[in-house]
């Protein structure tokens, strides 16, 4: 959809911008990582079991390994007496078979001796060391864990593309893997711009503004699995911007913030054209974040994020986060959305998609959402108070309390309880 053209660039829709970015981003290569560092990464290979798990048929109980047929009809009133052949601790397999009328004392996890087919737990027995009396019969195979019952040799235990959680890490360890291939993390250079911007260790006197974007973006990058690098603060000159962009070119992604609007000192677009293959789009029909620019410099993806603190965070959420997740092999690259009942009236401009910062609650089977107050793109507090982002379509101009809206959830707080509900 073409809205209007400025600097030869048509403004595009949120949908077009997202599709363009997701069609452009590459799938990153693989790297080997220790399984202890693999959590939250996406597996880049099929992990197979080289041998059966468990490797031997073994006991699930402390008790006696015997033949089920020898204790048919056993009860407290009618115990069956068997000869104890030996004592088998876990980790010390025995090659002595259990014959008819015999039983071996055996611990949980110890390999079942040849001839035995069933376990009777120690509580159902009484022994003087050489003879054991069995007080209960047992079905064939009771309390026996069979070789390969969890995993068979050659089986894929964790397939390529799996998001690695502690369970997968345990499984990979159980098949003997101390390291695995995962999709590598992108290096993301974070470049602030602006003569009025200083870093934390500089003097914010004389009306200077501390580069909060550097740090909110840094943490957003970490949250979705990228490796952030602080690429500093460029002055509002072509030359300084150019130098900072050039210095950041080794990264997989450059996130600049600011300098991308229509002001006299907004040189980011010029520099993107000069260094790279140009801008692929600039300006998206959205609020906040309209001046967003996207392009490439060689293999480096460049997001020219707007400078306002809320705009930079929201455009990261909508475009950069899904891009990073896709590049690193994730399948579920979008935030969970819910439909919520609006608890206040809201108004907006026609033609732009709005991302209102929202507080979402859940009660009586229903989500409710309200904006977090003043919604200016410089009001970082509106993000601090938010656990969701209300997404209001382009054509809407006003919504009333009671209307339904779609909200992206920024965290899992709604699905976690302070107290267990089942105690």
Q: What residues line the site for ligand AMP (CB under 6 A)?
A: 192, 194, 196-197, 209, 211-214, 257-259, 261, 263, 306-309
Q: Which does 212 bind (CB under 5 to 8 A by kind): Mg ion, ligand AMP, none?
A: ligand AMP
Instruction: Assign 156 to helix, strand or coil.
Output: strand
Place of tokens 């909060």: 212
Give least dist CB 389 to Mg ion, A: 24
User: Per residue in 272-289, is it b (16+ CB within 10 Å) or e — as a string?
Assistant: beebbeebbbbbbbbbbb
Q: Distance of CA 243 to CAs 271, 294, 332, Å? A: 10, 19, 37
Give least dist CB 258 to Mg ion, A: 4
Q: What is the dihedral of CA 282, 285, 291, 293, to 10 degrees?
A: -30
Residue 302 near residue 296 (C-beta atoms within 8 A): yes
- For Mg ion, the closer of residues 53 and 268 by Cβ is 268
Q: Which does 257 bind (CB under 5 to 8 A by kind): Mg ion, ligand AMP, none?
A: ligand AMP
Give least dist CB 236 to Mg ion, A: 6
- For Mg ion, the closer of residues 232 and 259 by Cβ is 259
Q: What pairing do the DSSP bridges indicate for beta strands 404-409 and 388-392?
A: antiparallel
- For Mg ion, the closer of residues 241 and 369 by Cβ is 241
Q: Tokens in use for 176?
A: 């003997």
As a whole number of angstroms, the distance between CA 147 and CA 335 comes to: 42
- For ligand AMP, the closer of residues 53 and 188 by Cβ is 188
Q: Which does 209 bind (CB under 5 to 8 A by kind): Mg ion, ligand AMP, none?
A: ligand AMP
- For ligand AMP, the closer of residues 194 and 276 by Cβ is 194
Residue 226 near residue 324 (C-beta atoms within 8 A): yes
Give least dist CB 364 to ligand AMP, A: 40
Q: Which does 57 bind (CB under 5 to 8 A by kind): Mg ion, ligand AMP, none?
A: none
User: Residue numbers of the site for Mg ion (CB under 5 A)?
Assistant: 194, 258-259
Q: What pairing do the DSSP bridges indicate for beta strands 279-282 and 293-297?
A: antiparallel
Shortest-Cβ-distance residue relative to ligand AMP:
307
Q: Which does 375 bind (CB under 5 to 8 A by kind): Mg ion, ligand AMP, none?
A: none
Residue 303 near residue 253 (C-beta atoms within 8 A): yes
What residues contact 400, with CB distance under 8 A and at least 6 apart? 342, 345
Shortest-Cβ-distance residue relative to Mg ion:
194
- For ligand AMP, the closer of residues 168 and 266 by Cβ is 266
Give least dist CB 372 to ligand AMP, A: 19
């Amino acid at each position: 959809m073409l809205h209007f053209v400025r600097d030869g660039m048509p403004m595009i829709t949120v949908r077009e911008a997202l599709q363009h970015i997701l069609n452009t981003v590459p799938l990153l290569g693989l790297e080997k990582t220790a399984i202890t560092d693999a959590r939250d990464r996406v597996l880049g290979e099929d992990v197979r079991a080289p041998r059966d798990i468990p490797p031997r048929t073994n006991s699930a109980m402390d008790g006696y390994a015997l033949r089920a047929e020898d204790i048919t009809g056993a009860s407290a009133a009618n115990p069956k007496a068997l000869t104890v052949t030996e004592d088998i601790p876990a980790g010390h397999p025995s090659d002595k078979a259990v014959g008819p009328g015999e039983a071996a004392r055996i611990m949980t996890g110890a390999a079942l001796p040849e001839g035995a087919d069933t376990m009777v737990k120690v509580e159902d027995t009484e022994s003087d060391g050489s003879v054991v009396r069995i007080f209960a019969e047992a079905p064939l195979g009771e309390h026996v864990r069979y070789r390969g019952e969890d995993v068979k040799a050659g089986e894929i235990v964790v397939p390529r593309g799996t998001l690695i959680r502690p369970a997968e890490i345990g499984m990979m360890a159980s098949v003997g893997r101390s390291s695995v291939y995962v999709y590598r993390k992108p290096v993301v250079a974070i470049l602030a711009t602006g003569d009025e911007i200083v870093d934390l260790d500089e003097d914010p006197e004389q009306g200077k503004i501390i580069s909060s974007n550097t740090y909110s973006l840094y943490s957003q990058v970490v949250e979705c699995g990228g490796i952030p690098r602080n690429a500093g603060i460029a002055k509002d000159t072509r030359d300084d911007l150019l130098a900072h962009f050039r210095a950041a070119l080794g990264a997989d992604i450059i996130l600049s913030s600011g300098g991308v609007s229509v002001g006299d000192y907004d040189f980011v677009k010029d520099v993107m054209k000069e260094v790279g293959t140009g801008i692929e789009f600039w300006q998206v029909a959205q609020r906040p974040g309209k001046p967003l620019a996207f392009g490439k410099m060689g293999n480096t993806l460049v997001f020219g994020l707007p400078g306002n603190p809320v705009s930079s965070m929201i455009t990261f959420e909508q475009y950069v986060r899904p891009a990073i997740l896709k590049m690193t092999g994730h399948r579920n690259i979008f935030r969970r959305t819910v439909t919520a009942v609006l608890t206040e009236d809201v108004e907006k401009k026609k033609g732009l998609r709005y991302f209102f910062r929202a507080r979402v609650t859940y009660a009586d089977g229903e989500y409710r959402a309200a904006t977090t107050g003043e919604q200016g793109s410089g009001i970082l507090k509106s993000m601090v108070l938010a656990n969701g982002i209300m997404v209001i379509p382009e054509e809407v101009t006003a919504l009333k309390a009671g209307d339904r809206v779609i909200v992206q959830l920024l965290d899992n707080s709604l699905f976690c309880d302070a107290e267990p509900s089942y105690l």
